[in-house]
Chain A
Amino acid sequence: MAMIETKNLTYTYPGGTKPSISGVSIKVEKGEFVLITGPSGCGKTTLCRCFNGLIPHFYQGELQGEITVAGMDTTKHPTHAMAKSVGLVFQNPENQLFALSIEKDVAFGLENLGVPREEMGKRVEWALKLTSIYDLRERSPHEVSGGQQQRVAIAAVLAMQPEIIVLDEPTSFLDPLSAEKIFEVIHELNKKLGITVVLVEHRLDLTAKYADHIIIMDEGKVCFDGDPHEILSNEETRLIGVGIPKATLLYQILRKEGMNLNNRTPLSSEELATQLLEAFETT
Chain B
Amino acid sequence: MIEVEEVHFTYPNGVEALKGVSLAIKNGEFVAIMGQNGAGKTTLVKHFNGLLKPSKGRVRVDGVETTKTSVAALARNVGFVFQNPDHQLFSETVEEEIAFALKNFGFEAEAIQKRIDWALNLLGLTQYRKTSPFLLSGGERKRVALASVLAWNPQMLILDEPTIGQDYQQKEKLRQFIVQMQTQGKTVVIVTHDVEFVAECNPRVVLMREGTIVADGEGREILTNPEVLTQSSIVLPQIAQIFMKLAPLGLPKNVIDVYDAKEILLKAREKRRK
Answer yes or no: are A and B bound together in one complex: yes
A interface vs B, CB < 8 Å?
13, 15-16, 38-41, 45, 91-92, 94, 143, 145-148, 169, 172-180, 202-203, 205, 238, 241-243, 245-247, 249-250, 253-254, 257, 259, 268-270, 272-274, 276-277, 279-280, 283
Within 8 A of A (CB), among B14-44: 35-38
**A203 near B196 (CB under 8 angstroms)?**
yes
B104 within 8 A of A: no
> Which of A41, A178, A249, A257 has a CB less than 8 Å from the CB of B137?
A41
Interface bracket on B:
35 or more
Of the A-B pairs whose beta carbons lie under 8 Å apart in the complex, a sample of 19, sorted by A's number, is A41-B137, A92-B84, A94-B84, A145-B38, A147-B37, A173-B83, A177-B36, A178-B36, A243-B196, A254-B262, A254-B266, A259-B266, A269-B241, A269-B242, A269-B245, A273-B245, A277-B245, A283-B269, A283-B273
**B238 near A172 (CB under 8 angstroms)?**
no
Contacts of B272 in A (CB 8 A): 280, 283
**A257 near B168 (CB under 8 angstroms)?**
no
**A241 near B169 (CB under 8 angstroms)?**
yes
| Bound Cα distance A143, B36 (Å) | 17
Contacts of B248 in A (CB 8 A): 277
**B170 near A40 (CB under 8 angstroms)?**
yes
Within 8 A of A (CB), among B217-260: 230, 232-235, 237-239, 241-242, 245-246, 248-249, 258-259
**B136 near A253 (CB under 8 angstroms)?**
no
Contacts of A268 in B (CB 8 A): 238
| Bound Cα distance A253, B269 (Å) | 14
Given contacts A38-B167, A94-B86, A202-B167, contact A250 B234 (CB under 8 A): no
**Chain B 96-137 per-residue mask, 1 if CB under 8 angstroms from chain A, else 0:** 000000000000000000000000000000000000000111
B93 within 8 A of A: no
| Bound Cα distance A89, B177 (Å) | 32
**B238 near A173 (CB under 8 angstroms)?**
no
| Bound Cα distance A243, B167 (Å) | 7
With CB as the reference atom, state the residue of chain B lying closest to A148: B37
Shortest CB–CB separation between residue A197 and chain B, in angstroms?
20
B73 within 8 A of A: no
Contacts of B266 in A (CB 8 A): 254, 257, 259
**Other than the known A202-B167, A257-B262, A276-B265, what 5 A-B pairs have Cβ atoms closer than 8 Å?**
A146-B83, A175-B193, A249-B258, A269-B239, A269-B245
| Bound Cα distance A52, B169 (Å) | 30
| Bound Cα distance A205, B241 (Å) | 12
With CB as the reference atom, state the residue of chain B lying closest to A279: B269
B171 within 8 A of A: yes
With CB as the reference atom, state the residue of chain B lying closest to A95: B86
**A39 near B241 (CB under 8 angstroms)?**
no
| Bound Cα distance A57, B161 (Å) | 33
**B164 near A172 (CB under 8 angstroms)?**
yes
**A246 near B37 (CB under 8 angstroms)?**
no
With CB as the reference atom, state the residue of chain B lying closest to A204: B168
| Bound Cα distance A274, B259 (Å) | 19
Contacts of B195 in A (CB 8 A): 176
**A176 near B165 (CB under 8 angstroms)?**
no
B95 within 8 A of A: no
Contacts of A247 in B (CB 8 A): 238-239, 242
**B233 near A176 (CB under 8 angstroms)?**
yes
**A277 near B167 (CB under 8 angstroms)?**
no
Contacts of A250 in B (CB 8 A): 239, 242, 258, 261-262
| Bound Cα distance A253, B249 (Å) | 20
**A174 near B169 (CB under 8 angstroms)?**
no
| Bound Cα distance A23, B238 (Å) | 36
Contacts of B269 in A (CB 8 A): 259, 279-280, 283
Contacts of B249 in A (CB 8 A): 277, 280
**A176 near B235 (CB under 8 angstroms)?**
yes
**A39 near B84 (CB under 8 angstroms)?**
no
> Which of A172, A202, A276 has a CB less than 8 Å from the CB of B242?
A276
> Which 5 pairs of residues, A with B, have the shortest CB-CB distance?
A243-B168, A40-B139, A273-B245, A269-B241, A147-B37
B138 within 8 A of A: yes
Contacts of A177 in B (CB 8 A): 36, 230, 233-235
With CB as the reference atom, state the residue of chain A lying closest to B135: A13
With CB as the reference atom, state the residue of chain B lying closest to A176: B235
B268 within 8 A of A: yes
**A202 near B168 (CB under 8 angstroms)?**
yes
With CB as the reference atom, state the residue of chain A lying closest to B199: A246
